[in-house]
Amino acid sequence: MRRILTLAAVAVAAFALADVAHETLGHGGMCAALGGRIVYVSTTFEDCSIRSWIIDGAGPSAGVAAALLGGLWLSMAPPRNAASRAFLLLGFAFAAFWNFGYLIKSGLTDQGDWAFVIAGLKPAPLWHAAITIAGIALYWMSLRMLAAMMRRHLGSDDTTDWSPRTFSLVAYGAATAIACAGAAFDPRGAGTILSDALPSSLGAIGLPLAGALLARTTPNLRLALPASPGWIGAGTVAGVAFVALLGPGLHI
């Protein structure tokens, strides 16, 4: 049970980081940098007193930057603690899949941040096709990178450790749960669970896909993530703060 709680706590903290990078640091930070006032920021939405495509693009751009920083950290100076490595790995997954998946969504539906960025550019069908194709390519690249990082940084041959499929499904489930918990308190209504939270967490479907890929290509591989009381505590604090503060939103 403590191993499950550890993985869930690490996933919650990693998803919270990816969310804050997108909404608060990305959209909110650029709003402030351009001289605007952050009217409201939550787990799913940021409202600025001024409008600019730069602010729209800053959210997913900050998310991509967070993913790249996490991947770079793992590559250059991986932590000794397995849970800390898992945190960076899952942070990469949630941030990369959410924001590259957003490219696909915006390209196909003409909705969301990337659609606002390219609004007015001609010819519109070509721009939408371009960001859709770019999103698919980058998403697939991120999936392959994640699978390689899981193998390299958590790989084990101990049969008592996590199977890649179970590891990725538990982490994905924990992230989906915290996303919905935060959106449940959104003052815009619980409907944001369906309109914003679930689509955002659905974007991270690449995580269980990476687990399935590892299970198929290296069937004997296991992922080592022992119980960590410290990370259970840290993930709990991160989850409570995420829901309590950003769930109902901050008015700055």
Predicted confidence (pLDDT) per residue in 25-81, tens digit:
999 999 999 999 999 898 888 889 999 999 999 999 999 999 999 999 999 999 999
Each residue's pLDDT tens digit, 99-123: 999 899 899 998 889 999 999 899 9
The answer to whether residue 195 scores a pLDDT higher than 80 is no
pLDDT band for 201, please (50, 70, 90 cuts).
Answer: low
Task: Domain of residue 240: give its range.
Answer: 2-246
Between residues 120 and 85, the one the model is more confident about: 85
Residue type, 109: T
Each residue's pLDDT tens digit, 118-138: 998 999 999 999 999 999 999
Residue 252 in any domain: the answer is no
User: Which pLDDT belongs to residue 46?
Assistant: 87
Residue 98 in any domain: the answer is yes
Between residues 66 and 185, the one the model is more confident about: 66
Name which of 113, 106, 133 is nearest 61 in CA terms: 113
The answer to whether residue 200 scores a pLDDT higher than 70 is no
Residue type, 216: R
CA 148/CA 150 separation, integer angstroms: 5
The answer to whether residue 252 scores a pLDDT higher than 80 is no
User: Which pLDDT belongs to residue 204?
Assistant: 85
Q: How many domains does the chain have?
A: 1
User: Which pLDDT belongs to residue 19?
Assistant: 94
Residue 109 Cα distances to 51, 112, 171, angstroms: 21, 8, 28
User: Which pLDDT belongs to residue 84?
Assistant: 96
The answer to whether residue 190 scores a pLDDT higher than 80 is no
CA 74/CA 77 separation, integer angstroms: 6
Between residues 189 and 19, the one the model is more confident about: 19
CA 245/CA 227 separation, integer angstroms: 28
For residues 193-216, average pLDDT? 81
User: Which pLDDT belongs to residue 249?
Assistant: 81
Each residue's pLDDT tens digit, 133-158: 999 999 999 999 999 999 999 999 88
Residue 251 in any domain: the answer is no
Residue 222 in any domain: the answer is yes
Residue 137 in any domain: the answer is yes
User: Which pLDDT belongs to residue 192?
Assistant: 65
